[in-house]
Structure 1
Amino acid sequence: MTPSSSALPPSSIAERVTAVRARIDAACRAAGRDPGDVTLTAVSKTQPPEAIDAILGTGQRIFGENRVQEAQGRWTERRATSPDLELRLIGPLQTNKGEDAVDLFDVIETLDREKLARALAQAAEKRGRSPRVLVQVNTGAEPQKAGVLPDAADSLIVAARETYGLTVDGLMCIPPADQDAEPHFKMLRHLADRNGLSVLSMGMSGDYETAIRCGATHVRVGTALFGERNRP
């Protein structure tokens, strides 16, 4: 990807990282939570190299990507020199990309069907590497959006754990853009509690403080860190 002329200067990205971390800390304290319990995932999809280098310079080491192939181009070389990076797949995953995803990502947040669980288990056995997974729940039952429906989430969690031997850390959701996010975050937390899961990846640039109030352990922030998204 060629660098975008709209990319923010490194100093601006550093300031934005500081501001977002301060807001996460404030939201945690307002909710009576330890700020150390909430992890910032920087959504690096579509960002040019200078933006990635700038945010790495702030000490940020956890990143979310939407597409396997794009992430390979962005992170394969950087990972060789920065083994402390954690890469999280936050976009839909096709089963035929399972092996590539298992090779690259530490966490796959978008498990949403048993066929994908089977593909990931097979890829993990073949590659000798098994990323942790989150089950993505389509809390708004939106037909255009990935994610298992809420009433099928329990059975998918059981299958992923018991049938396919995957390490299910928790749940992820993306609430409908035109609805109040809080009920969706509360639904996800209820599902997680019911299944003994501790990780809740929920909340983005516009609603991560609400998500923290509802129990988020990971917030996925892109625009608030990098500015408006650069399009490929």
Structure 2
Amino acid sequence: MKTISENLAAIQKEILTSCLKAGRSPEDVRLIAVSKTKPASLIREAYDAGQIDIGESYVQEFLEKTASPELEGLPVRWHFIGHLQSNKIKYIVDKVYMVHSIDKLSTARELSKRAAAKNLTVDYLIEVNTSGEPSKFGLSPEELLKTAGSFFDLPSVTLRGLMTIASPDPSLAHEEFKLLANLLEQLRAKAPHPENITELSMGMSGDFEKAIDAGATMVRIGTALFGRR
């Protein structure tokens, strides 16, 4: 069985290869290590191997890990990537580096309110349902472009870009990644500060190469690093 360090090195090599193939700099793609259901001890192994961006999907698990003896006080950059209910934002707002999964305007407003109450500025991404699957969260492309102005106006938060979870079919996924990249450009064209909106969080263990080819700046990888759940 390979160690977390060995898995991390292999993933980084694959990211490098994918970037070179796409004519992109590896420095433009950040690896988010998705550690949901995995113990804090494995996250510590990844951190010790140089991985500081960690993604979590469930609020209670996120809180337990941030307070765990193995991780408490370490400069981990915590990314919240799962579905986030408005009534749970107050628990994570002062602990998270970035929220990837804001899927409605009301949730963004609550994040803004809670960040302001703590005198913080929190970075976030809007989740887009690029596949159109009813089981998935996220704004439709049409809703995103229609409501974009309301997101730009929120205080104490900074919109950094977009996130999506693509279809399991690789051929469909590549088109959905390209759609998200196109939506990012349309969003930037509407934004009062387009220089802030640069991030595309897309691609996971099974499809991150296609996401990088389409312009991903963050890939969310769990299984390839920590093993199956």
Q: Does 1:215 align with 2:206?
A: no
Secondary structure in 2 aligned to 1:159?
helix
Deviation at 1:144? 1.4
Deviation at 1:76? 2.7
1:206 maps to: 206
1:47 maps to: 38
CA distance in 2, matches of 1:15, 1:168: 34
Counterpart among 75, 88, 103 of residue 79 in structure 2: 88
1:59-70 equivalences in 2 (<5 Å)? 59-70=50-61
CA distance in 2, matches of 1:120, 1:59: 30
The structure-2 alpha-carbon separation of the partners of 1:183 and 1:226, relative to structure 1 and needing over 3 Å to count, comes to: same
1:77-156 equivalences in 2 (<5 Å)? 77=68, 80-83=72-75, 85-156=76-147
Please tell me the root mean square deviation across aligned C-alpha atoms, in Å.
1.5
Instruction: Tell whether the 8 Å contact from 2:121 to 2:156 is kept in structure 1 after alignment.
Output: no
TM-score (norm. length: structure 2): 0.91
CA distance in 1, matches of 2:98, 2:36: 16
Q: Does 1:186 align with 2:171?
A: no
CA distance in 2, matches of 1:153, 1:182: 20
Instruction: Tell whether the 8 Å contact from 2:54 to 2:79 is kept in structure 1 after alignment.
Output: yes
Unaligned runs of 5+ in 1: 1-7
CA distance in 2, matches of 1:41, 1:89: 10
1:159-208 per-residue CA deviation (whole Å, 9 max, x = no partner) reads 11114563000000001224621000000000001122310000000000
Deviation at 1:152? 0.6
1:4 maps to: none
2:159 maps to: 168
Unaligned runs of 5+ in 2: 189-196
Secondary structure in 1 aligned to 2:146?
helix
Deviation at 1:80? 4.1
Identity %: 38
Aligned residues: 219
Deviation at 1:122? 0.9
The structure-2 alpha-carbon separation of the partners of 1:118 and 1:64, relative to structure 1 and needing over 3 Å to count, comes to: same
Q: Does 1:28 align with 2:19?
A: yes
TM-score (norm. length: structure 1): 0.89
